[in-house]
Amino acid sequence: MPDDEDVEESESPSGRPFWSGAITFGLVNVPVAIYPANRSRTVSMRMVDDEGTPLQRRYVCSKDGKVLDWDDIVRGYEVKPGKFVVVTDEELEAIEPRKSRDIDLQLFVGLEEIDPMFFVRAYFLAPAGGTTKAYRLLAEVMERTGRAGIATFVMRAKEYVVAIIAEKGILRAETLRFEDEIRKAEDIGLTKPAKVSPAAVNKFATEIASHTGKVNFREFFDEYAERLESLAKKKEARGQDVVKARASSASESAEPAGEVVDILDVLRKSLGGGVAKKPARKAPARAAKKAAKKESGRPARK
């Protein structure tokens, strides 16, 4: 850990965080900005007509089939099956959690005390403000002691519980499920396991030992998504089944994509260059093996 006078002032991070505030506990205040730490690569396709025009979703009354405008729609809380209580926008605003720019760190716990079932989504916490001193100190102490911070904060009118974790000098926040969102084994009829023979245990232990090693997540990838992308590009190159959407009005056009943020670049600048560059992504080993076998005329093993 560098001395206080050795901590460099951070540059302004590139890109825009979607939330910024400060981790607070006692007299400690650590300004941070939040960036997503993972991204979904779901295989999604737009619904279009046979001429390529994107289709729109509409709300339709299930009783008479009438297409409704936004002014015709209200929110209803279902208190009993088929019985709703209308809740107005003003009433919803009145019960929203108090807006705050604080990540209220309430206690520290051993990281091993948090059941992985509670984790939902990961976010990077980048240092914000004029200095990284408090950020570095908090990350260093948490990492040395193996502790995580349990905190609450409000984002987009919703309150979240998060675990703040330090790893390699960087803080991240993992949103947590609430306790009543976790199902127990007995909820789905699982009972205590029956006793098994020592011979069966030894057999399974031997089998597990033969498959034990170090995981390389680069070997695991969404093969279906890659095949779908390849299929679409090949059909486009052949001019097969290609349709172009008609120009739509400004009100119907999709919102522009958000700015792409290189989180490592943000952290590197914020921490004065203290984050190692991410190595270039190599082709997954499994994909390379399949390609080699295909070229040699041998079928690829599934």
Backbone angles phi, psi at 2, to 5 degrees: -70, 155
Sign of the four-CA dihedral 228, 234, 239, 245? positive
Provide the token pair at 75.
């929110």
- Asked if residues 37 and 172 have their Cβ atoms less than 8 Å apart, the reply is yes
User: Cα separation of 23 and 255, whole Å?
Assistant: 32
- Asked if residues 281 and 217 have their Cβ atoms less than 8 Å apart, the reply is no
User: Cα separation of 287 and 301, whole Å?
Assistant: 11
User: What is the three-class DSSP state of 213?
Assistant: coil
Identify the H or E element spanning 122. strand 119-127
Provide the token pair at 117.
């079932």
Identify the H or E element spanning 20. strand 19-25
Strand 28-36 versus strand 19-25 pairing type? antiparallel
Provide the token pair at 35.
């960036």
Residue tagged 């911070």 (tokens) = 149
- What is the DSSP secondary structure assignment for residue 3, as one 8-state letter? -
Which CATH number describes the domain made up of 1-40+68-183+264-302? 2.40.290.10
> What pTM was computed for the model?
0.65
Residue tagged 């720019």 (tokens) = 101
Provide the token pair at 44.
């999604």
DSSP H helices in the chain: 89-95, 133-145, 198-210, 223-238, 263-270, 285-296
- pLDDT by residue for the chain (302 residues), tens only, comes to 333 333 333 333 445 788 889 999 988 999 999 998 887 777 778 888 888 888 888 899 988 989 999 888 999 999 999 899 999 999 988 998 888 899 999 999 999 999 999 999 999 999 997 788 999 999 999 999 999 999 999 988 889 999 999 999 999 999 999 999 998 888 888 878 888 888 888 988 998 888 888 888 788 777 878 888 888 888 888 888 887 776 655 444 444 444 445 656 666 666 665 555 544 444 444 444 444 444 444 444 43
For residue 84, the Cα-to-chain-centroid distance in whole angstroms is 33
